């Protein structure tokens, strides 16, 4: 073999080794997606830390996918992601298009069955906290009109601007259902990013928004949370949606995901969101600290 042919052979071998290595790494990487909100960033990091510790597989987290469920769900069905944190009522109403609200345990059981049947996905565990919706108005607005309940808001809604995130505006139990339930007739309704809602309220760009009960800023921002006096909003328990083929492909993944089962209360989730959003701490460090405190992460975990 001449020198030129030898060099070509060596080059080809290097390419084969390179691509084989890349394929090996990719096949052992679990891909996690999150919605564009602080809470999801923290949950994604918790999942990643536990998976890496319990299974030894590498994890890649894609944070803040625009559109939330409306874009993540088709992507995970397609195989772009292996798992993501989701909320029970979101899956029930937005993905499965159900209209009847059942008992929480029945909904979770049906989610597992229908996700498997329709999408080859399943739900693993529930984290424990309930991040349901609430309606918040700027304090000055609440004081001006004497607002305490959503029914109070209905009487003056035509004078106010509503700002909600895309998921809420689109979903069947969201903006339209809320307006139907209370007779709201807002002057205008605009789609606004999750992370900008409280700033928009503070600046007077909007008067009313859909808040989440675990929002970090809910107790410190210049807002009043109105009583859902008609009991319109249902429960949104967080859990993990995962591809069934990922559970088969990665031994130990299910057990790692179950480490998240029932580990968070509503108040703990608020505190974690506050640490990241208000205190400007890194979400991975906040997640790590919490898991260490719960005894779920080893002290030397990196």
Say what the pLDDT of residue 79 is.
98
Question: Distance of CA 60 to CAs 1, 47, 180, Å?
Answer: 44, 11, 41
> Torsion-angle region of residue 280: left (phi > 0), alpha (psi -120 to 50) or beta?
left
Say what the pLDDT of residue 166 is.
80
234 phi/psi in degrees, rounded to 5: -95, 180
Output Rg (C-alpha) for the chain, integer angstroms: 23
Say what the pLDDT of residue 218 is.
81
Are the CB atoms for 39 and 64 separated by under 8 Å? no
Provide long-range contacts, Cβ within 8 A and 24+ apart, for 157-160: 157/183, 157/184, 157/185, 157/186, 157/187, 157/208, 158/185, 158/186, 158/187, 159/187, 160/186, 160/187, 160/207, 160/208
268 phi/psi in degrees, rounded to 5: -65, -40
Alpha-carbon gap, residue 253 to 236, rounded angstroms: 24
Say what the pLDDT of residue 136 is.
95
Which structure tokens are listed for 85?
């944190």
How many Cα atoms are found within 13 Å in the side-chain-facing hemisphere of 139? 7
What does each of the 302 residues of the chain score in pLDDT, given as a tens digit? 555 544 444 444 443 433 333 333 346 899 999 999 999 999 999 999 999 999 999 999 999 998 899 999 999 999 999 999 999 999 999 999 998 889 999 999 999 999 999 999 999 999 999 999 899 999 999 999 999 999 999 999 999 999 998 878 887 778 999 999 999 999 999 998 877 888 999 999 999 999 989 999 887 888 999 999 999 989 999 999 999 999 999 999 999 999 999 999 999 999 999 999 999 999 999 999 999 999 999 886 44
Which DSSP helix (H) or strand (E) runs through 65?
none
Alpha-carbon gap, residue 39 to 202, rounded angstroms: 21
How many Cα atoms are found within 13 Å in the side-chain-facing hemisphere of 218? 22
């Amino acid at each position: 073999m001449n020198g030129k042919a030898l060099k070509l052979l060596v080059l080809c071998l290097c390419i084969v080794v390179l691509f084989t290595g890349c394929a090996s790494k990719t096949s052992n990487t679990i891909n996690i997606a999150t919605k564009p909100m602080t809470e999801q960033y923290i949950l994604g990091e918790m999942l990643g830390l536990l998976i890496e510790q319990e299974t030894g597989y590498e994890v890649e987290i894609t944070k803040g996918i625009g559109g939330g469920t409306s874009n993540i769900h088709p992507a995970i069905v397609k195989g772009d992601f292996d798992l993501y944190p989701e909320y029970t009522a979101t899956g029930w109403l937005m993905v499965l298009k159900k209209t009847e609200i059942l008992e929480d345990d029945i909904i979770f059981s049906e989610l597992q069955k229908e996700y498997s049947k329709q999408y080859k996905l399943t739900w693993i565990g529930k984290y424990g906290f309930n991040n349901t919706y609430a309606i918040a108005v700027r304090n000055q607005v609440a004081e001006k009109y004497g607002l305490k309940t959503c029914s109070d808001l209905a009487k003056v809604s035509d004078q106010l601007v509503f700002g909600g995130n895309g998921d809420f505006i689109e979903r069947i139990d969201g903006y339209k259902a809320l307006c139907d339930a209370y007779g709201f007739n807002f002057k205008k309704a605009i789609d606004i990013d999750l992370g900008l809602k409280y700033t928009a309220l503070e600046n007077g760009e909007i008067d009313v928004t859909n808040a989440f009960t675990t929002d970090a800023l809910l107790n410190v921002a210049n807002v009043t949370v109105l009583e859902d006096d008609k009991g319109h909003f249902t429960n949104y328990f967080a859990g993990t949606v995962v591809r069934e083929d990922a559970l088969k492909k990665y031994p130990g993944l299910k057990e790692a995901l179950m480490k998240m089962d029932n580990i968070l209360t509503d108040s703990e989730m608020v505190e974690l969101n506050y640490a990241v959003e208000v205190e400007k701490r890194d979400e991975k460090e906040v997640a790590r600290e919490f898991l260490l405190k719960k005894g779920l992460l080893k002290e030397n975990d990196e």
